[in-house]
Each structure stands twice: as C-alpha cells, then as structure tokens.
Structure 1
C-alpha cells in the first residue's frame, strides 16, 4: 500500500467520528506544564521548543518493560533501532540506537538521554545504555525534538529525552507487579512498592527480562535484571532532598549479520547510577543542586573489556526579577572517561588501551524567558562550554511563541547544538585523533499547535531544518584511516501529530514525519507514520497500533536499496477485578520481514501474555 493512501486512510479514521460526537467533558490536557526546554515548570504553549510528553498512565497501558519502545508510537519523527524480542545490547552490532528528525549516530551519541534533567551516557563511547531505562522507574517522559544544547550541553544535537523518575504521592503503601511470558521463551517481570508518610517518600522496583532469541542461525539470547531505589524528604514546602540509585546487570549474545552469523559472542555489562538532588522553590526564586555518578563495567567474549564513569554537578536558579520574566542561571560540570582493554588485538591496534582517559567539561548558561502581554512569549539563551581538551565553545538559542487566538499558538525557534569528541574519538584505537573539534548543528523550526472541537481534537505541525557540520568521520581511503572533522548533513522536513479523544472510553493518535536527508545516513526514514487507538469496551481495553516506515537507509552502501515496511501490533487487556488485569500483546502481526540495520532481520509474529496486579 502506498504511503499516501495509508496516510489518507488513517486521517479518515481519526476525523470521521468527529461528525457524530456530541459535546463531552474536556479530556485532552489543553496546556500541560513541562520542565524540558526550560528549567522551570511552564505551560507547553509558552515553550518555544517542540516538546512531546508521555504520562505515567500511557506507560502503564503500554505494557512495555523498557520506556524507549513506547516512544515510537508517541513521538513524531522518533525511530528506535530495535534488534530482538526484548533487550538491546551494547557494542558494535547492537540495538538501542535513537534517532530524532533523522539525527543519530553510530554509536548513538547525538540524542541526549537525561534522568531528572541530568545527562546519562557511557563515559568512553558517550552513548546512552538503552537497557537501563526501566518503565517501572519513570513517572513521565518529556522529549525535546530538535537541538537542546543551550540547556543540556553536549550530545543534544537531535534532541533530549528527559526521564522523570517516580515517587510515592499517596500516604501509606502502594505497589504493582507484572508477569508475562511469550514467544521464543521470553519472560518479562516487574514489581514495585512505594511508601509515603508525611514528609518522607520512598520507592523500590525490580525488573527482569530475558529471551532465548529468535535467530536459528546464531545465538541471540538476552537477559537483564535492574533494581531501583528512591527516597526523599521535604523539609518544607520550599525545600526538598531526594536520592536514587539504580543497577542494571545484563548479558547479551551478539548474533552477527545473517551473511556471517556468530556461533557465540557473549557480552556482559553492569551499569550503575546514583544521584542526589536538593530542590528549592521560594516563588520568585527556585532551582536545584543535582549531583550524579554513572559507572559501568563491560566484558566481551571477543576480548574487549572496559570500566567507565561519568560524574557531574548541575546547579541552577530561576529568578523572577521583573513581571512575567524568568531568568535561569546555571552551571554544569562533567567529568567522564574510563579505561579499556583488549589483549587479543595486535599491539599496533591497542592505541590508547590500558590507560585511564578523563575529560572535564564546565559549562555556564543563561536563559531568559519573557511574556509580552497575554499572547507573546520569547526566550533567548546562551551557553559557554569549557572543555579540558579542545577549549571553549559558545552556543546561542532563541525562540518565540505567539497565541494568535484562543487555543492556537504559533512557534518559531533557532538554536545551536554540539557534541564534544568522546574518549574513543580522541584516544582509543588507531583511528583516534586528539586534534578533533566538537561537532556542530544549527536547528531552525516553525509551526503551530491548536485545540479545536471543544478541545477534543489536538493538532500540531512543525517544519524544521537541521544543518550539521564538523562531523567526526573516518575515511577508509586514508592511510591509515583516521577520524577527522570532515562530515556534514542537511536534514529538512516536517512532523505532525493529531490526537482525538471524545471521552474516557476511546482516543486515537496519528503521527507523521517527513525527513529529506541530504546524505546517505542510517536511521533517517523519509516517511515515518504511526497510528494508535485506545478503546475501552466494558472490561476490555483494546490498543491497536500501526507503523509505516518508508525510505529507510539501513546500509551505508549506495547500491543497497531503501527499506520499506508496515508493522501492526495489538494489545488487549481484560479487567478481572479493579486491581487485576490479564493481557495479551501481539507484535508484528503482519509477519513483516524487515531489517532496521542491514544483515540483522527483525522477529516475525510474537505474542506475550500475562497478568498485571495493583495493591
């Protein structure tokens, strides 16, 4: 089926019911408050950046053990390089690569993942670890689509994904558990318990997922166990302290491409995170002091092993000195690096191995947000980066939001983003180059968001242009091949979202993104269409989902054809009682044969069934 016909059909499905609906109570959140794109809770219509949000209810109803896969149906222009039934893995040939607006990287280091506003990435390769983001730990997800470096620094070229952690909000004990089993010996289980008493709150969660794998030609099994603990205390309504720790222990078997399958390539990795936050809010003055420490140990059967760390301090204050104005002053300090080993390599290939490498980065930033009257909001920001290796970098950004009429807002912004060279770029292996400069990108966008039909229908449309330069690339024709700042790209396109909800019993969402990428780059589909409905029929909840991808480059070889595919998923839940639900989830029900990365087929039809409990 052609892309245009599918779009037309799904648009009809979204809008046809509108004619028959009578007025009902307001369901769609008209102007929710967000903290991503700003360091203070602010109405989404007044934030000039493009922000997508995912609630705890949506996370619960998805049934996903990891929070990243559900973004594919919730965020326009989002692509996740999945690889198996469950789990992503690490190292070359693994999944978990995130792309927003066609901007990604190999490894994935051009989209920043944050937890409670603090950057999360591996200290050596500078990419997030996808298997560490358990859905049970997350209350809300906010995604800034497009450059986000003015507030968040390095790696936020394509955008920023802010995972906001859960905490107990009701007095006493609450909790839930989920158990599921399905195709290819796949198991998913999670349990969490929360407790709140007066000013104290705590939450603990444990998750386990494993699969025997679906590849008949190679070992591709996976297992992962994560644990999470969060505790906090409110000294007063204006001052609170909280801390959380997380561990993820995983084993991944990399199967290799189908042209050269691997009998066994075992990769074990342990990831940990600890953070402390002290937050204040005295009305005209608010902010936070955040401290974080990430660490990891990786050991591959092929001989590679590493220990890495990424520590930092974030301090910012929001000041309201003038009416309808917020000034945000902040300082970020990061120290990241590690040590890698591989004794199986010949000595010339061991460049930089066995040595501790550390990079320091101190950033100062200022952002001003000003409302002009009741209709216009402007913001301007500036970040100065001081890197221990390459020196200083200056990043500006500015934008405007204008409420043309009630429930109709126009937005436009321009912002510069960057990515600092990672340890592997600078120091490890013969292709490293200590003279590398940071990658750069300018992002320009403009569009609108509106609510109509008694605010039951929400529409958003954004056009964008992202121009990257100074990209770090390795030219295989060089002798020897070495990294250099020689790459560039120009991505332009549009992204849109339609949401309709007539009542609490049903809602639909349609996302479509078009990307015109000037270069042959991976994970940048020309067409990215997703449709999802959520229907409540008595005790049944029915969630059908469809994804259509067109013009996806899954290989850097010009002779390889683009990948085009359609996926159909279905989740059905039955309420046995108010606190007990049984469910069945089917994925790729069309049994589509497709490859997100050349040589690595995706699983066909797979089914998971289980039970969800609340207590």
Structure 2
C-alpha cells in the first residue's frame, strides 16, 4: 500500500460528483442537502463527498428496492445473504467484509434503522414510493452521526406533502411476484399537510422455501408555519420470509434452487412512531428535535426445528440547534446537539437479554475563511452504558472523536477538499454476549481515523470527480474463528483501507445521460496473525455504467452494467482458498407515460448470470442469487 500512502500525501483527488449537486439524470444544481450538516442547507461548502440519487433517477431506473438503487452507486458493494435481494441484504462501504452491517449507518429522514444487535438495518422497510432522494456520505462520519458511521452514511429523505396528489400501482413479475402500491398526499393552504401510503409485495422468490409476504403502511401529518413546523409519523411493517438456507458447492452444481431447510422461516412485525419539529427562534437560529420509538417483534424456526422469538426496542431523542452567523466572507454555520438512544434486546435464538444506553453530545462549525475557502471542525463525546439482564452485570465506557477539514472553491466549476474524520463503533449486544472478554466485561470500542482528499470539476456537459482516502482501524470488532475452540467476537489487530472512487457523468444531449464510476479499495490487515492479508469478501475493484435515454415525452429507457471484481471468500482470513471470480450484471427498464398513466418494464440480471450473493470459502457454503427476473408495473396518478 506504499504507493497509495505516498499518493495521499502528494495529490489531491476527491468527491463523488453528486456532492457537487449533479444527479444521474441532470446537470442541474441540487438545492438542498441534509446529510453534511444534519439540517437543510443550500450550497454549504463542506469537505465531504455526498452522492445524491433523486426521485427522477429512481423513476427512470424502474427500481423496486433501495438495494437496486445502491447497487449502481460508486464505492458501494452489496452482500445478499440469502440471495432474495430483500431483507437479508447489507451494504459495504470502505472495504468492510462480513461485519459491514454495523459499519454503515442507514437513516430515514435522520431516523436510525441500525439495530443494537447483529441484525442489520431492515432495508426492505424502505419503500421507494415514499423516497424523494437518497443522500450517500462517502467515508467516515463519526463526528456528525456517531456510532456505526465508520464506512459511510445512507440517508433516505422521504417526500413532503405539497399539492393534492394520489396514485395507485400494481405489478406482476417472475417467481409469482405481485406488487400493489397506493398513496395520497396534500399540503393545504392553511399549513396542514399529510401523506398516507401503503405497499404489498408477495413473491415465491428464486429458491425453494423462500416465499415472501411483505406490507407497509406509512402515515405522516403535520403543520407548517412561518416560524415553526410540527409533524407526527407512524410506520407499520409486516415482513414474513421463508429461509432456504445455505448450500455447498456440490449442492449448487446439482440444483442451485434447492433447500435442505424446508421449514425454516423468520417473521418480523415493526411499529415505528416519530414526532418532531422545528422552531425558528430568529431569522438565523433554529431548534429542531425528533423523538422516535421503534419496536420489532420477531419469530421463527431454525433449520434444526428450534422455535424462537425476539424483541428489539429502540427509543431515540435528537434535539439540536442550528445557527448562522454573518461575516464579511460569508455565513458561519453552527450545529450542535444531543443524540440519546435507549435500546432493549431479547432473543431466544442468541440467548440475549440486555439493555444499552448511548448519550452523545456533538458540535460542528463551518467557517468561511475567505470568499472561496471554508474550514469545518467538530467533535463528539459518546458515553455507553450496558446491562446484561441474564448475568446482572453492568458496564460503561466513553469515547471522543474529532473532525477537521477544508474546502476550496477554485472557480464556479471546480472544487477541492481535504478532511480528517474520526469514527467509532460500540460493540452491539450480541457481540458482547459472545466475546473473548472475561465474564462481565465488554469489548473495547472500535476506533478509526480517515483521511480523504479530492477534486470535482465540470467542463461543459461533462462532470468528473475523484476521491482518494486512507482509513486506519484499531480494535475492529469482528468474529474471529481462531479465538477459543469455536471462535468468538473479538477486538482485532490494526487494519488499513486505502482506495479511490472515480465518477464521471456526461449529459450527451437533452435526452441522453451517461454515468461511469469506478472504485478501488485495498483492505488489508496490518498487524497480528494475518498481517499483510486482504480482508475477506471485499472486492478490490467495482465499476458501474448507467445510461438513460429519454426517447420522447412518453418513452424512456434505462440500462446499467454492474461489475464486482474478484475477492476472497468470507471467513478466509488466511487467504488460503483462492479468490472468487468477479461477475457483471446487466439491468434495464423501459418506461412509458401518457398523461396520468405509466407503465414500467424492469429486467434484472438480463444475461441470467449465475453467481452467489454471499459465499464462504472458509466453511464451503454459499447463498445462490437470482438469475434473470422481470417485472411489469402499471400506475395511475390522480
């Protein structure tokens, strides 16, 4: 990695293009970005790479899930644990392998989907029909967002009610897929607004015993005044999913759709309630706060016939103050607040019954030093308290992280930035329940230091960006199979990630747009038994090509190619089993719209590529992914 370390010192390369405000389908400036400051701010020059996927991008792609959207984005790798492309999928950023679910933070309007357990955020609970845009922070964001934001942040921004609008949609597809969606929203002249939406998805899926039955209902109501805004929201999700289990290579060669677990399943029922609002104290100072209560009840049966139940309860309170101080060089932006989280987790399956409390204080300031140069600095203090109700033990710990960075607007079309951000992750309840620590003690917090540098520029209709980064991780929390007789969760030795993310977008004409991105990461263990080895199940290279063709006012075509390079299989810490081959997937969508009518025809994995969504060469098991699938949906907007 010496070449990349040297390059980091001697070169400036940066951000993903969309932090410059360009979406996949247009070169227009994105007016509002939330994720860089945790408040809606236009054109704040922060030293960070933020990609934006707009509602128009989502519409043109014909995607039916967040995973399909993220798969085409730079710097992201998707792991599909059961090959169904639904609940058991996880996002990897910055070279994390099997432990990626706790190293990428997923938010919906700032509400955390991550859990205090080994269960990753339920990405299937995000219905694209409700999404206004997706903001993707590349790299560590521990100072601003705290725990689990080591590799990056996915912040989903939902639609706000405006004029009266209603829509219905229905679809059919491969593997007996049935889709039904509907919504109604309105923003009244007196300030009241509301939105109600619902979705139902039924599918047999690709493999035997992989039937899915999913539904969600979202209701949002509020009132907006010139000096304040209030809202309340309810989300209910029912997710029933049969689990086909893993197969070894011989099983896959024989019949990749088969199962040896005909009765295994896991069902989830989630209820989330959120209230909050903003109060404008003056023209320059605003106080905001949200309270969220989310409870998920789970039940299932394992492959060996064990019936289990589990409950996850998470309460969060997030008050913050945002202020603007005018100076001769521009406005200073000040953000400060508290993040409070109370979690309870009980599971018969893992034998856990614990409580966890996080209390964080953070502050960030963006200062325009000159008309073209701004400096960002911030810090966060986090305190953990954890109680194991089974053993009766209590533990507490604390950590502080800091951020410093600068952005230089060279001219109207070119921007440079450099930043240093520290991140952290607390061990979750499952990990502490089965660790190599003495009884009654918990794992040390995972700590990381990330350097990022970059450039983004535009020449006529072509935009280009490059982001170069280096991240060092200490006390990485990971299941280590070499510990004890059966392995245990452990604090690993130091590891490094060095990489580059390139993104180019070309507005060929008013009707044709192209996007090409390429990502390289060298994820390497730098100390201990496996020093010098590559982190398993991390592809060093990924690339995507996306093209949209607006043929007429009624017709558009979307195509993409998604390449995942070779990588060592999961659990192959010794790098002794050889690399898994890379693969390329091709997807397409045809959209027809006539007045209020619309039809989408989406095809995934057009060539029927046979690949595995997840594969462990260390233990010889894998989860085959779907071959070609097709979906047609028809909708009407009132």
Q: How does the TM-score come out when normalised to structure 2?
A: 0.84
> Cα offset for 1:87?
4.9
| Misfit runs of 4+, over 4 Å | 83-87, 428-433
Pairing partner for 2:110 from 105, 113, 117:
117
Residue of structure 2 in register with 1:400 after alignment: 406
Contact 1:104/1:110 (<8 A) preserved: no
- CA distance change for structure 1 residues 86 and 245 in 2, over 3 Å: closer, same or farther? farther
Aligned residue for 1:46, secondary structure, equals coil
Give unmatched runs, 5+ long, in structure 1.
1-25, 90-94, 343-349
- CA distance change for structure 1 residues 522 and 167 in 2, over 3 Å: closer, same or farther? farther
Contact 1:433/1:483 (<8 A) preserved: no
1:193-204 to structure 2, matched below 5 A, reads: 193-198=184-189, 199-204=191-196
Residue of structure 1 in register with 2:244 after alignment: 255
1:121-520 to structure 2, matched below 5 A, reads: 121-125=114-118, 127-170=120-163, 173-198=164-189, 199-215=191-207, 218-234=208-224, 236-259=225-248, 261-281=260-280, 282-302=282-302, 303-323=307-327, 324-342=331-349, 352-353=351-352, 355=353, 357-388=354-385, 389-427=395-433, 434-453=441-460, 456-480=461-485, 481-519=487-525, 520=534
Alignment partners' CA distance in 2, 1:567 and 1:213: 18
Pairing partner for 2:624 from 590, 601, 607:
601
Number of equivalenced pairs = 566
> Cα offset for 1:151?
1.1
Q: How does the TM-score come out when normalised to structure 1?
A: 0.87
> Cα offset for 1:430?
9.1
Alignment partners' CA distance in 1, 2:80 and 2:637: 30
- CA distance change for structure 1 residues 332 and 545 in 2, over 3 Å: closer, same or farther? same
Aligned residue for 1:169, secondary structure, equals coil
1:77-88 to structure 2, matched below 5 A, reads: 77-82=75-80, 87-88=85-86
Map Cα deviations across residues 47-75 of structure 1 (whole Å, 9 max, x no partner): 211101111222223333322321222x2
> Cα offset for 1:418?
0.7
Alignment partners' CA distance in 1, 2:370 and 2:140: 28
Deviates more, 1:244-253 or 1:469-478: 469-478
> Cα offset for 1:105?
4.4
Residue of structure 2 in register with 1:551 after alignment: 566
Contact 1:233/1:240 (<8 A) preserved: yes
Alignment partners' CA distance in 1, 2:623 and 2:440: 31
Q: CA RMSD in A?
A: 2.2
Alignment partners' CA distance in 1, 2:612 and 2:578: 12
Alignment partners' CA distance in 1, 2:154 and 2:483: 36
Q: Which has the higher contact order (CA 8 A, sep 6+)?
A: 2
> Cα offset for 1:428?
5.7
Deviates more, 1:223-232 or 1:479-488: 479-488
Contact 1:337/1:423 (<8 A) preserved: no
Alignment partners' CA distance in 1, 2:343 and 2:186: 35
Alignment partners' CA distance in 2, 1:493 and 1:152: 22
- CA distance change for structure 1 residues 401 and 512 in 2, over 3 Å: closer, same or farther? same
Residue of structure 2 in register with 1:5 after alignment: none
> Cα offset for 1:477?
3.5
Deviates more, 1:272-281 or 1:396-405: 272-281
Contact 1:433/1:484 (<8 A) preserved: no
> Cα offset for 1:387?
1.2
Map Cα deviations across residues 237-284 of structure 1 (whole Å, 9 max, x no partner): 120001111111111122122227322311111122111111133331
Deviates more, 1:596-605 or 1:79-88: 79-88
Tell me whether 1:567 sits opposite 2:590 in the alignment. no
